[in-house]
Structure 1
Amino acid sequence: MAPVAYSGRMPNTALQKQLLLHEQLYTDLVEEGVYEVFPYYNDEENVQFIPPMCLGLRKHEVLCNTLQIGKMMDLNVTNNSKEATRGGSTKTLIHFAQNVKNKVFDRFDYGDGANKQIYGHRGKSPRYALEAITVRTVIIFAPTDEMIDEKDIYELASNMTNVKLRKVERPKYKHDDFIAGQDVMHDVYNSIIEDLPENKKNVTPDHKKKTNRSFSWWIGLIIFGVGLAIVIIICIKIFRGKKGSEKKQTVENT
């Protein structure tokens, strides 16, 4: 649902502008010791679990607001609990920003030196091998999603195999509507439920053999049961016929 992979054409221009400065943002966060969304400090009395403080620093308030953290995480304007604001790694945010800026879907770029150590070569980080994904996949997206352009969805699909696209045609359908939309059951989830029985067709050869053997066993049992019933019926008729003849013979003798 609404996969954020290729994002170079992101319609949310305000967020895109912030993410293009990811190198400075990453430097600032590392220098401040911020490695997670809604970071927890030892001095918890000063922690503000409010959407604008998602990165712990007032100077990144614009980014938090542009990301619509409050709406995405269904947070209150004030007084959110630590449990309600459990977020994720800021590295994920920077990784996302790298791919937005470079218009690619690559692994995390650590820079030449670290890339050599981690990936085995200098230069850019390697691409994700999307062609290796062969499992049957349905990509559900909305043309009005502010986080992903429709062309980015097509680019993602073109690099995969065994994939089909499903478009949500509802006007002004947004990225968070895939989770919190009022009609998400009708617009998205029902189609997923309808797809589930199709998985029964995708059984392994071993499972097919077991299924066939099980089917043959039941057929054999039914045939045996029918045959046994016929034999019993014939025996009953013969017994009744023999008993009737003996009774008739006794009457005649009398």
Structure 2
Amino acid sequence: MLKTLTSVTILICALNGLTAQQEFNIQKRTAIDGYYSEAHDVTTSDGYILEVHRIPFRRFQISENDKENPKPVVFLMHGLQGSSLSYIYLGPRRALAYLLAEAGYDVWMGNARGGLNSRRHVTLDPDEDAEDFFNYSYEDIALNDISDMIDYILKTTGQSQLHYIGHSQGGTVFFVMSYMRPEYNDKIKSAHLLAGVGYMEHFPNRLLNALAFSTDIIYSLAVDQGILEVLGPRNPNNFDEEVYRTNPVLSLLRILIDVIVSIHKQLEILAPASMKQYAHFGQNIRTKSFKRWNYGPLKNLIKYGSLSAPEYDLSKITINTTMHYTVNDDLLDERDVLSMASVIPNAKVRKIARETYNHNDFVLAPDSKELLYDYILEELDKNR
């Protein structure tokens, strides 16, 4: 399903401005910034309905004359608790999505299940059927959301390949999909990963390291309490203080939420996610690995044929991949980036040339254009 904003709507939006609630309406936000946009509904193979956003033209254009030569396609995928807004947040002349549109690319931005405008399912209600709806980790996003969005984009544009850009968990799901669904290696022409999280042998965040030792207990207690969604309507931070004095489980969950919020300084760009996504990362932080979901020895044996969860084998990824990283990242260590790049056959690394650049600066820092985006554009232009 396709939803568009006409030129008249763009003008009305520009005159009226945006309210706080409308900040999450990507089409209205892009209209204010002067860009025509489209919203597409993509239904995954397991029934989740995702809103995908497209910016097909340059600023102040609503069509283009050259329809004979289709534009190269770039697909942008956000990180954990992120959304399409991550890639337009910096505005015209600074945001990566807009810079790509100005450079002549057909820009698509994904939204993972449970997040921005994607808290929908063909049969499940996220509130009434929360235990089933939020029973997903980043692997489910990789094997269903990412692959299905890519297929939809390629079919809609008539292209056989696209370029992929992923921030944080957007890199994680790229690794998982490319390994577990190898046919997608032929559908991605090149990839740029912005602090793409995978290996966790040297995970740098001390507090999350400490919490990770209890990740299975925290997740089990959260499910028992009906806390299945992070920063959603049932977020522990929304409860009265009296609840915390009588419920230590929620107090522990609140600490986790506070850590998450402290990592993401720009609260207005946060979108909901499942508790299981965090639990899956927590399992890997605890075991200093990059593995599939750990069900426990018996269930692992039934599902995987082994007592432990299998590792994701990054050596099977054949895509031309550039891994951008920073030494001031609280969620990804330089040593883990270099280890992943040494395993992926066609990977190279690039360190951001600012020592204070952090994990979220990849999509939030105004100087990302000079430090990162200009380079990405140059590389994409070499391989349009």
Do Structure 1 and Structure 2 share a fold, with TM-score over 0.5? yes
Q: Does 2:343 align with 1:159?
A: yes
Note the 1:60-79 alignment, pairs <5 A: 60-67=253-260, 69=261, 72=264, 74-75=266-267
Q: 1:15 to 1:71 in 2, by over 3 A?
A: closer
Distance 2:335 2:262 in 1: 28
Distance 1:39 1:122 in 2: 35
Tell me the alpha carbon deviations over residues 57-101 of structure 1, each in whole angstroms, 9 at most, x when there is no partner.
34322222223x26527226xxxxxxx753111111111111111
Q: Does 2:310 align with 1:105?
A: no
TM-score by length of 2: 0.44
Q: 1:9 aligns with which of 190, 202, 216?
A: 202
User: Following TM superposition, by how much is the alpha carbon of 1:151 offset from its aligned partner in structure 2, in angstroms?
Assistant: 0.6
Q: Which residue of 2 aligns with 1:149?
A: 333
Q: Which residue of 1 aligns with 2:223?
A: 30
The structure in which a higher percent of residues are helix is 1
Q: Which has the higher contact order (CA 8 A, sep 6+)?
A: 1
Letter in 2 for 1:172: T
User: Following TM superposition, by how much is the alpha carbon of 1:158 offset from its aligned partner in structure 2, in angstroms?
Assistant: 1.6
Q: Does 2:279 align with 1:87?
A: no
User: Following TM superposition, by how much is the alpha carbon of 1:19 offset from its aligned partner in structure 2, in angstroms?
Assistant: 1.9
- Stretches of 4+ moved more than 4 A in 1? none
Matched pairs, number:
183
Letter in 1 for 2:223: V
User: Following TM superposition, by how much is the alpha carbon of 1:31 offset from its aligned partner in structure 2, in angstroms?
Assistant: 1.2
Q: Does 2:232 align with 1:48?
A: no
Q: 1:143 to 1:85 in 2, by over 3 A?
A: closer
Letter in 2 for 1:94: A
Q: Which moved more, 1:152-161 or 1:57-66?
A: 57-66
User: Following TM superposition, by how much is the alpha carbon of 1:169 offset from its aligned partner in structure 2, in angstroms?
Assistant: 2.2
Q: Which residue of 2 aligns with 1:130?
A: 314
For the 8 Å contact 2:237–2:257, the answer to whether it is kept is no
For the 8 Å contact 1:143–1:169, the answer to whether it is kept is no
TM-score by length of 1: 0.65
Distance 2:263 2:223 in 1: 26
The structure in which a higher percent of residues are strand is 2
Q: Percent identity?
A: 30
- Describe the SS at the equivalent of 2:282: helix
User: Following TM superposition, by how much is the alpha carbon of 1:159 offset from its aligned partner in structure 2, in angstroms?
Assistant: 1.7
Q: 2:377 aligns with which of 193, 198, 209?
A: 193
Distance 2:278 2:292 in 1: 13
- Describe the SS at the equivalent of 1:57: helix
Q: Max radius of gyration: which structure?
A: 1
Structure 2 residue runs of 5 or longer lacking an equivalent are 1-193
Distance 2:215 2:289 in 1: 15
User: Following TM superposition, by how much is the alpha carbon of 1:47 offset from its aligned partner in structure 2, in angstroms?
Assistant: 7.8
Letter in 1 for 2:338: Y
Distance 2:354 2:271 in 1: 31
- Describe the SS at the equivalent of 1:171: coil
Distance 1:20 1:47 in 2: 23
Q: Which residue of 2 aligns with 1:220?
A: none
- Describe the SS at the equivalent of 2:229: coil
- Describe the SS at the equivalent of 1:146: coil
Measured on the aligned residues, the alpha-carbon RMSD in Å equals: 2.5
Q: Which residue of 1 aligns with 2:355?
A: 171
